[in-house]
């Protein structure tokens, strides 16, 4: 049996979020049936990652890969998850914890975004369509800057324009970005939800963007095949890191 994978999602009070994470991890299991895959949540839903890792240690595991189901490196990946790992290592010093990178940024996520826009009726790379790349937003400026760079990279795929927007903690808001693109003469504006699972932020982006004049708003990325493929890649990359460097 391969090294267990513990996926760490943000968590939400909205039951659609946990169901989406479950569907995504089912897709991962289909790709790697040899890997024990476990879901965990930082907040609002059980189980916590500490509980899952404690359980693995209690069952005799000597190694695990902890993979953040987060699209951008920010507070949760820089502070919350390392805190979890330090606590678990204090209780189980023999358990080697390998940390995978956050999901984004990665070209596969652009493929997933285009898949979801296509499902919403927007042809990929349409030169008459400007796109708002709408993320949840962060108080970490480097995380928002990463999303801005992703938007610039995506623009090269043929869109009229791609601009970043943030549902909270940063500007512009998605509705502001939609109005600005329409005012600049874009024939059509679509909003790509750069959000992993449905919930408060995805609903907010959709509601406010449509009210501002967006022609389409894509659903959350969810269990898109590209996201499942990316998780498998991140897992493999964590295992390729030197064991000593991976130990907490």
pLDDT of residue 93: 96
Task: From residue 158, give the alpha-carbon distance in Å to each of 32, 128, 189, 211.
Answer: 34, 9, 14, 26
Q: How confident is the model at residue 75 (pLDDT cuts 50, 70, 90)?
A: low
pLDDT of residue 137: 87
Residue 158 backbone phi and psi in degrees, to 5: 115, -10
Give the DSSP per-residue string, 134-168. EE---S-HHHHHHHHHHHHHHHTTS-SEEEEEESS
3 state SS of 13: coil
Residue 124 and residue 154 in contact, taking contact as beta carbons nearer than 8 Å: no
- Token pair 């907040």 is found at 43
Mean pLDDT confidence for 220-230: 98
Mean pLDDT confidence for 170-179: 96
Q: How confident is the model at residue 243 (pLDDT cuts 50, 70, 90)?
A: low
- Token pair 């490196």 is found at 73
The pTM of the full predicted model, rounded to 2 decimals, is 0.94
Q: Which two tokens stand for residue 225?
A: 């095949």
Q: Using the Cα atoms of residue 48, residue 52, residue 58 and residue 62 in order, give the sign of their dihedral.
A: negative
pLDDT in tens, 7-35: 999 999 999 999 999 999 999 999 999 99
Q: Which two tokens stand for residue 107?
A: 């070209």
The b/e string for 180-189 (b: 16+ C-beta within 10 A; e otherwise) is bbbeeebebb
pLDDT in tens, 136-161: 988 888 888 999 999 999 999 999 99
Cα three-residue angle 220-225-227, rounded to 5 degrees: 60
| Alpha-carbon gap, residue 164 to 172, rounded angstroms | 8
Give the DSSP per-residue string, 85-153. HHHHHHH-TT-EEEEPPPS-S-HHHHHHHHHHHHHTT--TT-TTEEEEEEE---S-HHHHHHHHHHHHH
Q: How confident is the model at residue 76 (pLDDT cuts 50, 70, 90)?
A: low
Q: Which two tokens stand for residue 21?
A: 């994470």
- Token pair 């909003």 is found at 191
Count other Cβ atoms within 10 Å, centred on residue 77: 18
Mean pLDDT confidence for 36-57: 96
């Amino acid at each position: 049996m391969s090294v267990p994978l513990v996926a760490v999602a943000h968590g939400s009070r909205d039951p659609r979020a946990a169901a989406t994470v479950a569907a995504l991890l089912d897709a991962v299991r289909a790709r790697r049936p040899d890997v024990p895959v476990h879901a965990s949540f930082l907040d609002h839903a059980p189980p916590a990652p500490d509980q899952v890792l404690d359980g693995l240690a209690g069952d005799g595991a000597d190694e695990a890969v902890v993979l953040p189901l987060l699209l951008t490196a920010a507070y949760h990946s820089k502070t919350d998850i390392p805190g979890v790992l330090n606590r678990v290592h204090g209780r189980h010093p023999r358990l080697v914890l390998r940390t995978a990178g956050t999901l984004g940024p990665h070209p596969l996520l652009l493929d997933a975004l285009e898949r979801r826009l296509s499902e919403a009726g927007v042809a990929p790379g349409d030169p008459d369509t400007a796109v708002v790349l709408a993320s949840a937003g962060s108080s970490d400026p480097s995380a928002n800057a990463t999303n801005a760079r992703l938007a610039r990279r995506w623009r090269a795929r043929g869109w009229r324009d791609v601009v970043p927007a943030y549902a909270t903690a940063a500007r512009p808001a998605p509705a502001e970005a939609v109005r600005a693109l329409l005012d600049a003469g874009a024939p059509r504006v679509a909003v790509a939800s750069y959000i992993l699972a449905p919930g408060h932020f995805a609903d907010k982006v959709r509601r406010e963007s449509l009210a501002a004049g967006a022609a389409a708003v894509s659903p959350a990325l969810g269990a898109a095949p590209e996201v499942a493929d990316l998780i498998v890649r991140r897992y493999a990359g964590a295992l390729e890191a030197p064991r000593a460097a991976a130990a907490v």
